[in-house]
Amino acid sequence: MYNIYFVPSFYAHIINGLLLLIGVILLLKNYTKIVNLEPYQKIILTLFFSISIGVHGLSHLGLETNYNYNPLTM
């Protein structure tokens, strides 16, 4: 069995999660500016977050499949 803490994909996953958290914090801090964006810009921003969350979810799937790592069972 692998030690998950020595696998680079684990650290890439952690960094991705932190960047997503920073993005959500910035989104909340600038909520009034985002509400006033044009519809096209809102669509682009929504699609960007959708892609980011999807990639993070695929990273979870890879960690669970290859290394039997599920943070919810810890």
Half-sphere exposure for 16 (CA within 13 Å, toward CB):
17
* Cα separation, 3 vs 32, whole angstroms: 45
Q: Which residue do the tokens 């069995």 mark?
A: 1
* pLDDT tens digits along 4-52: 888 888 999 999 999 999 999 999 999 999 999 999 999 999 999 999 9
- pTM, entire model: 0.81
